[in-house]
Structure 1
């Protein structure tokens, strides 16, 4: 019996000593299951979101320079026209009457010149005869001065008539030009995309949205562009040549590839917000019927698409250090223990954040779960949890390529 008592006592002593250790192991030292992604090079494509409308690259609004009734319309909406083709005629009667009136005025000026030339010739003959008579003392100096003044006056009147003729020619030329403006011709080759005016309506010279102000719109439909509005906070990051994906409202799943062609120097003010117009020249794919005026949204890509060391954006945390400076950090699995690593970051997109310092390729970065990630403490035991269909680092890289293809 005594040996049994000794064995029992040993078991009790071992239990007293081992129980606290067991509790500590099961409570404090149990590993936490986390999601882990290896730091690797990824394609990072940060973007700026913008909205706007589509417009044909070469588009002309035809307006009248005269006030006149529309006499005849020679085209219809959808017609293809060539440069210089007659599209529409305005009533020319008023301007023909003006030409007739100015031609009559010119004829009167020409007749007046002929009359003044005869008067000048007569005055010069009388002055020459007076010079002979004054030499013979047959007339006085006063009479000779009258003859000379008459000659000078005839010269001035002839010059006046000649100026009146030049003025009549100018007015007649203007009247003929006005008559020519009653024929509206195509300034460019293209398609009639809008024809609001009708025969009998009065065309007026105005840029406002008034009835008769717009005759028709011609556009080269072979090329289209997006006119985007970019917020002033983002415009400094937009440069000529950047790639853009444009999504027309009518085709929300179709990415229209384009590049930034022009950036406005002056802003526009809308609802107390300043925006800058950015024009994007697009490559319209076959089978997509794009039209001017369609609403669109766009992703303007800021990066060059180069592969850089990156981690998922959800893995990067932010907090203030003892010096009240903001620092970025990630949690890394080092031999089964969580280690907080301060990192330097670069550009980012919706999925990846570039790491410029603090990590190297292959570091096992903890990415979640989010609730557990917020409660991690330096040295916590961690282990990678096994989740069905969990994306690996290589999958992330291929996913980035897939994003690029979508873009």
Structure 2
């Protein structure tokens, strides 16, 4: 009887093992390991020199002389262009004459006031001797007061003439166009004989020339309002200019616009983000070139991560979102609730719920949807090193060690 019981037990174990073997589900697993995660935001825009000045005229005059050419290096304060000053010279002479007339008028009024004060003093003595009446004395006093008012009026007229004269002098000085910064002449649309006009509109004669510091260049990118909240100063970016698509440039976010701009022809809003670039001297970038960029949200450091396809997101009736993964433990599937962090196109960071080396089930996708707790699985280790986007850092990851 004992022998029969042992044989029966062994047969039962064989049958159960056989049944379990037939019920095992084939899955692919990847070991949770440290990975470089670099989530990014895609943006596009234009290149622009870091310091760029559009010179416009402040007075209306014909261009008399141009002293530079496009591409010339100029120093701050250097004379670049002369406008015809004849009109403003004539105005200066007219106002100088007006100022001289005001000065003569002041001298005349001072003499009149001195005479009125002398007559008033004499009138006071005569009134005390009763040699003149009160009416005559009042006339002398009124004449003195009137002379004082006339003098003050002439002095105010002189101040007005001096102010007008200063304005005319300033306008005359503005016929000499000087460089506000040191840099390179990158645009020179005006020609000798054309009329320069003070305007910010895109009109002929409104723009005289453009000066830029070509030693530094930045990308002025447009970021959608849905992504702008994730942009921070100092974040790294990789910019590719249309003229050099095989040469990605690195840079940092140096400015984020506070006010949005409306996209023409649509209701979309975007914010300008400036990225200062590190550019080789021989690359030859130009202001106005179109560019696209990836703005990286993370620092690119290694962190525990699993493939994004392994993450299962479920929402309960009360709206609470729970993320989990299936883990292969000794041939059985077990669900592990996890907390996630940053993610990119391939990896999602795990902040809690897993340990390095845990065998996470990544597929097939149909199997992930129907797995149950404790289900028997037949795991195959997936070689992620052959997948696109895998770098040299992945060769030292947990997959190979597992």
The answer, yes or no, to whether TM exceeds 0.5 is yes
Partner of 1:148: 141
Q: Distance in 2 between matches of 1:220 and 1:296?
A: 20
| Structure 1 residues 48 and 289: alpha-carbon distance in aligned structure 2, compared to 1, 3 A threshold | same
Partner of 1:305: 300
**Alpha-carbon deviation of 1:372?**
5.0
Q: Distance in 1 between matches of 2:76 and 2:190?
A: 20
| Structure 1 residues 325 and 136: alpha-carbon distance in aligned structure 2, compared to 1, 3 A threshold | closer
1:383 to 379, 383, 391: 379
For the 8 Å contact 1:42–1:400, the answer to whether it is kept is: no
**Alpha-carbon deviation of 1:322?**
7.2
Partner of 1:247: 240
| Structure 1 residues 76 and 399: alpha-carbon distance in aligned structure 2, compared to 1, 3 A threshold | farther
Q: Distance in 2 between matches of 1:200 and 1:345?
A: 68
| Structure 1 residues 250 and 238: alpha-carbon distance in aligned structure 2, compared to 1, 3 A threshold | same
Q: Distance in 2 between matches of 1:197 and 1:235?
A: 40
- 1:120-141 deviation line (CA, Å, top 9, x unaligned): 2222222222222222222111
**Alpha-carbon deviation of 1:214?**
1.0
For the 8 Å contact 2:385–2:395, the answer to whether it is kept is: no
| Structure 1 residues 303 and 279: alpha-carbon distance in aligned structure 2, compared to 1, 3 A threshold | same
Partner of 1:12: none
**Alpha-carbon deviation of 1:84?**
0.3
For the 8 Å contact 2:338–2:352, the answer to whether it is kept is: yes
**Alpha-carbon deviation of 1:58?**
0.8
Gap regions ≥5 residues in structure 1: 1-16, 402-407
Partner of 1:29: 23
Partner of 1:90: 83
Q: Secondary structure at the match of 2:350?
A: strand
The alignment's TM-score, normalised by the length of structure 2, stands at 0.86
1:50 to 43, 60, 74: 43
Aligned length: 380
Q: Distance in 2 between matches of 1:122 and 1:319?
A: 104
> 1:150-299 counterparts in 2 under 5 A?
150-270=143-263, 271-299=266-294
- Of stretches 338-347 and 66-75 in structure 1, the one that deviates more from structure 2 is 338-347
Partner of 1:71: 64
**Alpha-carbon deviation of 1:105?**
0.7
- Of stretches 342-351 and 370-379 in structure 1, the one that deviates more from structure 2 is 370-379
Q: Secondary structure at the match of 2:348?
A: strand
The alignment's TM-score, normalised by the length of structure 1, stands at 0.85
Query: Does residue 355 of structure 2 align to residue 360 of structure 1?
Result: yes
Q: Distance in 2 between matches of 1:322 and 1:201?
A: 74
Q: Output the aligned Cα RMSD.
A: 2.8
| Structure 1 residues 119 and 337: alpha-carbon distance in aligned structure 2, compared to 1, 3 A threshold | same
For the 8 Å contact 1:43–1:400, the answer to whether it is kept is: no
